[in-house]
């Protein structure tokens, strides 16, 4: 079967969830890597939390000093119903209310979250996964890698600022991790990721998942379609943030899902 074969293409199943607002308490704060803060949230409101797909998102609500409320999208990195905890990983970047909140968070603080409102579950005969992204995609990539079963092959290609930002994921799957380093100022450039992808074979039945700065996500999708002849049904791409814009994303880069 050619990678252009569309007969076997995976599907994205949309599952809606009851939309609930929750007030959670910060249980711990960990400087996971130089550019990532892990916040462990807990509290009785977590009861009934549902997240079916690693690329789900919740809204976190931040109140600024002037009392204005704003919200941002974050990935439920790991929900443990037995421990009653939800992990959320915040990228440390130059500025923004969500980042500022995470940088000053301490045990006992409260955080209001909403969602996930729904999950997009990828179904079908997928033999391999190729996960591509930047540091904002790492929570979803880490979760996907950890949740895949034995016998599945997954390759991740991730751009981060420095070696210390690389993460190790425990998984039963066969995981090959490729990292490329570029400064935070170059996070809207796809060059280093495309150069790395050029060294990677993309076999049939590989589902490609992309999340990065919006221009990077668009460039990567174009490269995969035009240079690597991956069929569009085998790619899901999202712009998780837009350089220079606050609270901006392009959740569906191909505009079809």
For ligand FAD, the closer CB: 151 or 255: 255
- With respect to ligand FAD, which residue has the nearer C-beta, 55 or 197? 55
Q: Which residue lies nearer to ligand FAD by CB, 128 or 251?
A: 251
In the complex, the smallest distance separating the C-beta of residue 162 from ligand FAD, rounded to whole angstroms, is 14
How many C-beta neighbours within 10 Å does residue 65 have?
7
DSSP string, 179-214: EEE--GGGTT--HHHHHHHTTS---TTEEEEEEEEH
Residue 177 CB, nearest distance to ligand FAD (Å)? 18
Q: Which is nearer to ligand FAD, 73 or 130 (CB)?
A: 73
| Torsion angle in degrees (nearest 10) through CA of 123, 91, 58, 222 | -40
In the complex, the residues that contact ligand FAD under the rule CB under 6 A are 57, 72-75, 89-91, 93-99, 136, 139, 184, 187, 240-247, 249, 251
Walk across the sheet containing 235-241 and list its strands.
174-181, 153-160, 128-133, 206-213, 235-241
Report which of 198, 181, 168, 171 is spatially closest to residue 134, judged by C-alpha positions. Answer: 181
- Taking CB positions, which residue lies at the least distance from ligand FAD? 96
């Amino acid at each position: 079967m050619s990678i252009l074969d569309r007969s076997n293409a995976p599907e994205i199943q949309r599952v809606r969830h009851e939309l609930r607002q929750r007030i959670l308490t910060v249980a711990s704060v960990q400087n996971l890597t130089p550019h990532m803060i892990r916040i462990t949230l807990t509290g009785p409101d977590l009861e009934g939390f549902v997240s079916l797909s690693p690329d789900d998102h919740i809204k976190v609500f931040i109140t600024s000093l002037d009392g204005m409320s704003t919200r941002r999208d974050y990935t439920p990195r790991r929900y443990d119903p037995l421990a009653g905890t939800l992990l959320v990983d915040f990228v440390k970047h130059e500025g923004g209310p969500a980042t500022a909140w995470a940088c000053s968070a301490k045990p006992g603080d409260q955080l209001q979250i909403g969602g996930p409102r729904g999950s997009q579950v990828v179904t079908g005969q997928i033999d391999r996964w190729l996960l591509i992204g930047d540091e904002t995609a790492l929570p979803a990539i880490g979760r996907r890698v950890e949740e895949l079963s034995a016998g599945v092959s997954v390759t991740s290609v991730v751009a981060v600022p420095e070696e210390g930002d690389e993460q190790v994921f425990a998984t039963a799957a066969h995981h090959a991790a490729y990292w490329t380093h570029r400064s935070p100022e170059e996070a809207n450039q796809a060059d280093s990721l495309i150069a790395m992808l050029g060294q990677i074979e993309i076999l049939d039945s590989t589902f490609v998942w992309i999340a990065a700065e919006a221009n990077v996500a668009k460039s990567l999708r174009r490269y995969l379609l035009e240079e690597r002849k991956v069929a569009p049904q085998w790619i899901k791409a999202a712009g998780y943030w837009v350089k220079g814009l606050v609270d901006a994303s392009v959740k569906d880069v191909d505009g079809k899902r």
